[in-house]
Amino acid sequence: MTDDLLDALCRDLAPRPARRVGPRLGLALGAGCAATLAGVALLLGLRPDIGSAAGLPMFWVKLGYPLAVALIAAGCLERLSRPAGDPRRRMPWLAAPVLAVAVAAAAQMSLAAPAARAALVMGGSAMVCPWLIVGCAAPVFAALAWAVRGLAPTRLRTAGAMAGLTAGACGACLYGLHCTEPGGAFVLVWYSLGMLAPAAAGALLGPVLLRWR
Amino acid sequence: MQTTEVELTALMLAALDGDARAYRALLGDLRVRLLGYFRRRLGGAEAEADDLVQETLIAIHSRRETFDRAQALTPWVFAIARYKLIDHHRRGGRRLAVPLDDVIADLAVESGAAAADARRDVERALAALPERARQLLAALKIEGASVAETAERFGMSEGAVKVASHRAMKTLAERHSKGSVADD
């Protein structure tokens, strides 16, 4: 029986492309981000001053911070989508963008008048921002879950968490096109929360969503 | 016949480039290693170990693109084996594949009916499968057609027929052991 099976598996053996994990994840990321971008533009609306906002440093912090997290988390997810793939060399890099934003936020805070400091943390949208980021992450998470379960993750909880973090970071990055908050501390607290929530959900759902046969 | 890690990895790289002979040698070697692995962990449950070896070999085959060509092969193989073992325990250690004859016998006993009834039960169980899988199993196991004939009839390769029928049998076995076939 097993001999038959082995012969069957060897029949019609076609060469395989050297790279398939990266492109598959990239495709899912592209599709998910396109859906989220459409959602942000149509449902939330881009920030009204989007043309001139490119001159504001905070606009780039809000794009760059989640983008950096997304790229590093996607790199970890690429490892976790393979049996025996080890993300431990890539994972520590996640601290770098967080530290960079923390430094920028502290600098901005120290320069601000004491009365204005609370506003730099809470802004006007602290209570909706993480939720909207979670909403923005959902299409990316769905696309990534599809992509990863078609590969071969063997540590489903970790892979789920990393897929969630990648999706959360992509969601936050695109949400930054809508958000007009000027505070670095706001981004550090509420954007990070919005990115971590999908990561937690991914850790919970990973063993169910990513199971393959 | 102890193959080294380097040799195994080289065979895998050749297989990924389409070398069927290297692939056959690799799978033959891995089968022995996997059987040892599962036997040690299942404490002599021979049939289960055999099933898990097949499961793992099929997974290795269908997911072979997730092998990182810059890495060694055996950690990748045994990560899949461990995943399959955990999956097996999670499902309560049930046998993954039950020969159809057993299914027929069980159905006959459970329903307390004659062979004609058993056959109807089997057909009902088959009806719960996806259309193509059902036709395939019906041809192979009920009509008794050969793999080659079936492959020709369905316009599939023989390899694809074997893999698809293996999968369908497994689905059938799982449903059967959950009792959903006998109960409805």
Q: What number is the ipTM of this complex?
A: 0.89
Say which range, A67-76, A165-174, B94-103, B132-141, has the weakest mean pLDDT.
B94-103
CA-nearest residue to B86 within chain A is A154
> Among partner residues B50, B66, B158, which is closest to A83 by beta-carbon distance?
B66
Rg (CA), chain A: 20
Rounded distance between C-alpha atoms, residue B39 and residue B53, angstroms: 10
> Among partner residues B19, B67, B159, which is closest to A8 by beta-carbon distance?
B159
Burial class (CB in 10 A: 0-12, 13-18, 19+), A11: middle
Token output for A67: 């983008």
- Percent of chain B having pLDDT more than 90? 41
Helix then strand count (H, E) for chain A reads 10, 0
CA-nearest residue to B56 within chain A is A213
Neighbours of B144 (CB within 10 A): 8
Q: Which of B171, B168, B177 is nearest to B134 (CA)?
A: B168
A188 band by pLDDT with thresholds 50, 70 and 90:
very high
> Among partner residues B82, B161, B163, which is closest to A154 by beta-carbon distance?
B82
Task: Please tell me the predicted confidence (pLDDT) of residue B144.
Answer: 67
Does residue B178 register a pLDDT over 60?
A: no
Q: Which residues of A touch B19 (CB under 8 A)?
A: 13
Neighbours of B14 (CB within 10 A): 16
Rounded distance between C-alpha atoms, residue B183 and residue A126, angstroms: 54
Residues of B in CB contact (< 8 Å) with A are 15-20, 23-24, 27-28, 31, 50, 53-54, 57-59, 61, 63-69, 71, 75-80, 82-83, 87, 157-163, 166
Is A13 at the interface with chain B, CB within 8 A? yes
CA dihedral A101, A43, A199, A208 (to 10 degrees): -170
> Among partner residues A8, A20, A211, which is closest to B158 by beta-carbon distance?
A8
Q: Which residues of B touch A208 (CB under 8 A)?
A: none
Backbone dihedral angles phi then psi of residue B2, each to the nearest 5 degrees: -80, 115
Task: Please tell me the predicted confidence (pLDDT) of residue B135.
Answer: 76
> Among partner residues B27, B59, B77, which is closest to A10 by beta-carbon distance?
B27
Does residue B20 register a pLDDT over 70?
A: yes
Q: First and final CA of chain A: distance in angstroms?
A: 20
Rounded distance between C-alpha atoms, residue B154 and residue B67, angstroms: 31
Token output for B87: 């999956």
Across B124-140, average pLDDT: 75
Rounded distance between C-alpha atoms, residue B110 and residue B176, angstroms: 11
pLDDT in tens, B109-120: 544 545 555 566
Does residue A38 register a pLDDT over 80?
A: yes
Q: Do A10 and B17 touch (CB under 8 A)?
A: no
Instruction: Evaluate if pTM is beyond 0.80.
Output: no
Does residue B133 register a pLDDT over 60?
A: yes
Interface A:B, Cβ pairs < 8 A: 98
Does residue B181 register a pLDDT over 50?
A: no
Task: Please tell me the predicted confidence (pLDDT) of residue B184.
Answer: 33
Backbone dihedral angles phi then psi of residue A210, each to the nearest 5 degrees: -95, 0
Q: Do A84 and B166 touch (CB under 8 A)?
A: no
Across A36-56, average pLDDT: 92
Residue with tokens 């070697």: B29
Does residue B180 register a pLDDT over 50?
A: no
Backbone dihedral angles phi then psi of residue A18, each to the nearest 5 degrees: -65, -30
Rounded distance between C-alpha atoms, residue A80 and residue A66, angstroms: 20
pLDDT in tens, A66-123: 999 999 999 999 999 999 999 999 999 999 999 999 999 999 999 999 999 999 999 9
B102 band by pLDDT with thresholds 50, 70 and 90:
low
Token output for A5: 């099976």
Greater model confidence, B153 or B5? B5
Is A85 at the interface with chain B, CB within 8 A? yes
Across B137-148, average pLDDT: 73
> Which of A5, A20, A148, A155 to mutate to probe the B interface, most B CBs <10 Å?
A5
**Under 8 Å between Cβ of A28 and A147:** yes
Q: Do B66 and A21 touch (CB under 8 A)?
A: yes
CA dihedral B48, B53, B54, B55 (to 10 degrees): 80
Q: Do A13 and B78 touch (CB under 8 A)?
A: no
Across B146-166, average pLDDT: 77
Rounded distance between C-alpha atoms, residue B122 and residue B113, angstroms: 13
